[in-house]
Structure 1
Amino acid sequence: MVGAGVLSLPFALSELGWGPGVAILVTSLIITLYTLWQMVEMHEMVPGKRFDRYHELGQHVFGEKLGLWIIVPQQLMVEVGVNIVYMVTGGKSLKKFHELVCPNCSNIKLSYFIMIFASVQLVLAQLPNMNSISGISLAAAVMSLSYSTIAWVASANKGKQPDVDFSYKASTKVGVFFNFLSALGDVAFSYAGHNVVLEIQATIPSTPEKPSKKPMWKGVVVAYLVVAICYFPVAILGYWTFGNAVDDNILMTLQKPTWLIAAANMFVVIHVIGSYQIYAMGVFDMLETLLVTTFRLPPGITLRLVARSLYVAFTMFVAIAVPFFGGLLGFFGGFAFAPTTYYIPCIMWLTVYKPKRFSLSWTANWICIVLGVLLTVLAPIGGLRSIILSAESYQFFS
């Protein structure tokens, strides 16, 4: 659950402001926990059947064809978007680590660090399924806790800077407005577990006496407690320390103690190595199924090697072309994450269970749907503007 998006939360808070920022963080936590509960409940809502993929649940609710068209494009955008962002994150953190441990070394371009990160993914991509990456996933979880803790402890230790400024960074009202929209996407990106939750639940044994939803829900609650422990201190203390001078990645702003910030950046690298694979597994599954069923290619090691390597190369290519962490978070957070996280589970719940109009369940779901649709429409506008502004001073493939 705790992804690299946590590192952008102080920056998001600087663009949202204290009051709206904290309110949006809390609201997002509540809404996404509620929609995640809905997905865990719907996993086995048909006796004797398990919906092990997001699109399988969508097909049951919306119909065979419509369900695919609604869910698969959204899920692909999320998973590919995360992989692109994690390519950028891994490369930037490697570069920062290199600069901290060897300040007198010659400068190496970000593109090369992204390639180094991608080379690791090329090897790990050959692992066959979700269960085979459980060890990597555990390491990623430990690392995410570690670098989040370092981020807020180092910020608290540094203390409020003498020249700290809590006003909006943008000098115009238009700039403030668009930055606000982009920050909404940054927050949405931080809550990304929904897109792989059914695949994860599918790995848990289930019987009528002991359905998988019980241990799964316990796991979700623990995950969200960890999310709260990580997200709020990082966001609040990071912004309190640096104000609007904070970077879109808090670890890029923090400099000392050097060894600790270097370690935190390496923890980020280890984390996104594992998280990349968790999100890529869904894409690999869809890609290989398509190649075998539609193009009649023989399944096996050769197909896996070629298809998965080409996908890793594609995400690397895009990451090198557009290495703008904050803008990418804002764009993908709104455009891709908001539908699958904030309101598609609510639409499915209303369709299947049909709660009474104006009941608590009906009202809660419609509030989530309205807020989620607004987020989907508005956040990508801010994120895209941020990317365009960043691109003005960037030489592509430099």
Structure 2
Amino acid sequence: MGDDREAGQSSKVKNIDDWLPITSDRNAKWWYSTFHNVTAMVGAGVLSLPYAMSELGWGPGVTLMILSWLVTLYTLWQMVEMHEMVPGKRFDRYHELGQHAFGEKLGLWVVVPQQLVVDIGTDIVYMVTGGKSLKKIHELIVHDGKPIKLTFWIMIFSSVHFLLSHLPNFNSMSIISLAAAVMSLSYSTIAWVASVVKGIQEDIDYSPRGASSSARVMNFFTALGDIAFAFAGHNVVLEIQATIPSTPERPSKGPMWKGVILAYVVVALCYFPVAWIGFLMFGNSVEDNILISLEKPTWLIVAANAFVVVHVIGSYQIYAMPVFDMLETFLVKKMNFEPSSTLRFVTRNTYVAFTMFIAITFPFFGGLLGFFGGFALAPTTYYLPCIMWLILYKPKRFSITWCLNWFCIALGVLLMILGPIGGLRTIIVSAKSYQFYS
């Protein structure tokens, strides 16, 4: 009798796992991890990197970008390694690894709030970005028409997500993710090639931006947040790896790491030329979105903005998937709802509507990047993996691994504290002159 009940329960658990987005399909190829990671990491933040450089100056800007690239590659490697550190078990979700490191209860409280802030915050920023890019395309093509409010462009952008958010899992959105990854490389290339064509501007100034020394310090902090935001994609790493098949002979970390390396090459090709060439050509007069500095040729800027729209459509879905998984897990496992398409329809549409509403209410693009960048992305990307590594693998004190992890933790904590200060100031300054729903 007891065996029957246990068998019934385990088949119920299996049915739920087969229904939930993260664990429903484990047939991903290694290259899926490349374009999922590129789509997750290369956000529209790449277009604000020349602006971040103008707030940092050459020395700190170049140093911080290379350092961030290396540190985040290292912490991503740690997460890939820890995914199957317990034989026969897979940590399919970030919070499951957190629970293994910090304990059942504490692990949830450490990881879930931060992961939710990152995923939802990023989706809100992408709503704003998608709406702004559509508005820019309209302005460039239609010269004599009446301007349309940003609010409506964000609504138009979100309408796509009311459809796409019903894709069941990561593998079902691989085509969208591939298109998004190709687009990110395309608009990044357009941004730096068009900058080269435009050439170095007259009266160029490379000194850090800011009218006073206090403004320069604040701008420096904001730029730290922007760069943290640009290199953050770790929130969805374990969830992406969960879709790759794994056997004791061929664990998932092999193909996953292969995909990550290629993704990081693409990230370097997107980020470094845009940031450094954009700053070289425009100096500290560069706009917070490099495409705005490049007014001509019109067709090229329209194309770049269209690529941005396609890319943030894919990115939005990548960040939304773990949130859908958390919501659906909670409703099905804790609240005992039946797994059904109706439940999925209601939860996912509610989520899209919520992110749309917040984006329409607070569309301060630059400040939001800095604020979310430091506040939540720095922990989950720069130092949480290191803390878990120290707890679980216990490297010898003062060994290379131990020192490396503590260096990453120190850098991450610094970004987490300083990034939001500048971001919050930018939001306050924007809010002074802002009219709601204009």
TM-score (norm 1): 0.98
1:20 is aligned, of 39, 54, 60, to: 60
1:319 aligns with 2:359: yes
1:264 aligns with 2:304: yes
Distance in 2, Cα, partners of 1:351 & 1:106: 59
Distance in 2, Cα, partners of 1:352 & 1:128: 33
Does the CA-based 8 Å contact 2:232-2:378 persist in structure 1? no
Deviation per residue, 1:55-102 (Å, 9 max, x gap): 111111111111111111111011001101100110000011111122
1:1-398 maps to which residues of 2 (within 5 A)?
Answer: 1=38, 2-398=42-438
Q: Which amino acid aligns with 2:76?
A: L
2:288 is paired with a residue whose SS is: coil
Distance in 2, Cα, partners of 1:28 & 1:315: 28
Gaps of 5+ in 1: none
Distance in 1, Cα, partners of 2:210 & 2:297: 30
Q: Residue 298 of structure 1: CA displacement?
A: 2.8
Does the CA-based 8 Å contact 1:248-1:325 persist in structure 2? no
Q: How many residues align?
A: 398
Distance in 1, Cα, partners of 2:64 & 2:392: 29
Distance in 2, Cα, partners of 1:311 & 1:247: 32
Q: Residue 129 of structure 1: CA displacement?
A: 1.3
Q: Residue 232 of structure 1: CA displacement?
A: 0.6
Q: Residue 278 of structure 1: CA displacement?
A: 0.6
Distance in 2, Cα, partners of 1:132 & 1:222: 21
Distance in 2, Cα, partners of 1:146 & 1:218: 22
CA RMSD of aligned residues (A): 1.0
Deviation per residue, 1:13-32 (Å, 9 max, x gap): 01111110010001101100
Does the CA-based 8 Å contact 2:92-2:241 persist in structure 1? yes
Distance in 2, Cα, partners of 1:365 & 1:244: 34
Distance in 1, Cα, partners of 2:153 & 2:421: 29
Q: Residue 309 of structure 1: CA displacement?
A: 1.0
TM-score (norm 2): 0.89
1:47 is paired with a residue whose SS is: coil
Does the CA-based 8 Å contact 2:125-2:368 persist in structure 1? yes
Residue 35 of structure 2: aligned partner: none
Q: Residue 168 of structure 1: CA displacement?
A: 2.9
Gaps of 5+ in 2: 1-37
Does the CA-based 8 Å contact 2:122-2:316 persist in structure 1? yes
Distance in 1, Cα, partners of 2:105 & 2:70: 32
Q: Residue 126 of structure 1: CA displacement?
A: 1.2
Does the CA-based 8 Å contact 1:238-1:246 persist in structure 2? yes
Deviation per residue, 1:108-154 (Å, 9 max, x gap): 11111000001111111111111111111111001101001000001
